[in-house]
Amino acid sequence: MKRTNATTVAGPEAVPYQVSPAASTAAGERRPANLWYTGQAGPYPLETVAEFLDELSPPALAEPWDNAGLLSACPGASVARVLVALDLTATVLHEAMAWNADLLVCYHPPIFQPIKTLVPQPNAPCGNALLAHAAGIWIYSPHTALDTASGGTNDALAAALNLNVTGNMRPSHAGEPHLKLVTFIPENEVEKVADAVFLAGAGRVGQNSRYHHCSFRTPGTGTFFGEESTHPTVGEAGRMEFVREVRFETVLPVRLADAVVAALRTSHPYEEPAFDLLVMYTPPDATGTGKIAHVKLALQELAQQCKTRLGLLQVQVVGEPSRHIETVALIAGSAGRLALDGGDHPQPDCLITGELKHHDMLAYKAAGIATICLGHGSSELPVLHRLRERLTERFSSLEIRVSTAHAEPFTMV
Q: What is the pLDDT of residues 260-285, one digit of tens each?
A: 999 999 999 998 899 999 999 876 66
Amino acid at 213: H
Give the DSSP letter of residue 122.
T
CATH 3.40.1390.30 placement within the chain: 6-142+383-402, 150-172+289-373
Question: Backbone dihedral region of 172: left (phi > 0), alpha (psi from -120 to 50 degrees) or beta?
Answer: beta
- The pTM assigned to this predicted structure is 0.70
Q: Rg (Cα) of the chain, in Å, rounded?
A: 27
Q: Which CATH superfamily is domain 6-142+383-402 in?
A: NIF3 (NGG1p interacting factor 3)-like (3.40.1390.30)
**Per-residue pLDDT reduced to its tens digit, 384-410:** 999 999 999 999 999 999 998 877 777
CATH topology for 178-279 is: Alpha-Beta Plaits (3.30.70)
Peptide bond before residue 232 is cis, with ω within 30 degrees of 0: no
Helix (H, G, I), strand (E, B) or coil at 56: helix
Whether the Cβ atoms of residue 327 and residue 348 lie closer than 8 Å to each other:
yes
Q: How confident is the model at residue 33 (pLDDT cuts 50, 70, 90)?
A: very low
Whether the Cβ atoms of residue 233 and residue 271 lie closer than 8 Å to each other:
yes
Give me the sign of the Cα torsion angle 156, 162, 165, 168. Answer: negative
Q: How confident is the model at residue 132 (pLDDT cuts 50, 70, 90)?
A: very high
Q: Which CATH superfamily is domain 150-172+289-373 in?
A: NIF3 (NGG1p interacting factor 3)-like (3.40.1390.30)
Nearest to residue 306, comparing CAs of 248, 236, 382?
382
Neighbours of 321 (CB within 10 A): 13
CATH 3.30.70.120 placement within the chain: 178-279
